[in-house]
Structure 1
């Protein structure tokens, strides 16, 4: 009798160690969540994640063998978040980890150049590097500027024999590419 009881207890422990019939929590780490609005879902179980959270956990658990699918139903303001894994079946571990990484959205400032007849024009956006503008392709683009970041495009080098000025070259990046910056070049007298 004692051996049967011990055998049953060992079997129960072995099943519990393998996941057995327990419930499973779905959650994970969150990296770089700086804006409000992130909403996650696993089926009909939804979760609003607060700004600055570094982890999350769904309120409902899933049973052994049940499928899960973590999706982002609403992205945070001005950001894009991406789960590392999204779906699977509850199994070996009691906690199912679905890490999520967030990044600020980025856009470009596109510059149109008029009146350019000589080589040598260079534009710069703060300390992010320069863009050389040629007569053949009188445009420039400064890409990957995060939403909410100030930008300031200026003339770094004037073209030979010309003077250029810029309009609408400074601002704060919004939720779309900007195309209103214009450089106007005139011949030196």
Structure 2
């Protein structure tokens, strides 16, 4: 009984850490791996076109129900991804050995969108607003803003919000001599940019 508990704990630890685990006493082993970034239902995996495996929201690992033998080829693919994310398979193709399977995983990234709106009455500046830990400085006389900024090489965007993620804008620093408020500052990102935010300063 003690050995059974130990083997179960080792199997769970292997799945969570994406480690390669050894097989069972009869030469069979679990086929699974880690999961990252799944927040809604819709992720479905298959091994070599076999039965579908649905991955639950917020799961950190997956395991196919059927054991595989040593020296068995596997080819895990993503049949469908959650509607709010794009997913990639990591090390999904390989061959089992006496040491187990490779470090298999699925990484999902929420589809990003802009948070933007209009600015009224910002005659002095700057105004600094935040969304979580992200901050944006808005200069004097601006009439619009967009939380999204780009790196110098324009390859990376910052400040976007993923689908189904909550956002909440607030003022970190008021402009000199003015008080600004933000309307429609709180919400949950849908399938398109948020563009109804209004900043009014007086």
The structure in which a higher percent of residues are strand is 1
Q: Map Cα deviations across residues 50-98 of structure 1 (whole Å, 9 max, x no partner).
A: 345444333566787765332212223534443321223x253474342
- Residue pairs, 1:28-43, within 5 angstroms: 28-31=33-36, 33-43=38-48
Matched, 1:141 2:157: no
Q: Report if the CA contact (8 A) 1:169-1:181 is conserved.
A: yes
Relative distance call for 1:94 and 1:23 in structure 2 (3 A) is farther
SS in structure 2 of the partner of residue 153 of structure 1: strand
SS in structure 1 of the partner of residue 101 of structure 2: strand
Matched, 1:128 2:144: no
Alignment partner of 2:182 out of 156, 166, 169:
166
Q: TM-score by structure 1 length?
A: 0.62
Give the match for residue 99 of structure 1.
105
Q: Give the paired residue count.
A: 163
Give the match for residue 194 of structure 2.
178
SS in structure 2 of the partner of residue 118 of structure 1: coil
Alignment partner of 2:171 out of 126, 133, 155:
155
Relative distance call for 1:85 and 1:171 in structure 2 (3 A) is same
Q: Report if the CA contact (8 A) 1:23-1:94 is conserved.
A: no
Relative distance call for 1:117 and 1:31 in structure 2 (3 A) is closer
CA distance in 2, matches of 1:165, 1:31: 37
- Highest CA radius of gyration, 1 or 2? 1
Q: TM-score by structure 2 length?
A: 0.59
CA distance in 2, matches of 1:29, 1:139: 39
Alignment partner of 2:64 out of 49, 58, 63:
58
Q: Report if the CA contact (8 A) 2:73-2:96 is conserved.
A: no
Relative distance call for 1:171 and 1:55 in structure 2 (3 A) is closer
Q: Report if the CA contact (8 A) 2:163-2:190 is conserved.
A: yes
Give the match for residue 87 of structure 1.
93
> Cα offset for 1:134?
1.1
Q: Map Cα deviations across residues 20-76 of structure 1 (whole Å, 9 max, x no partner).
A: xx8775322334644322200223213222345444333566787765332212223
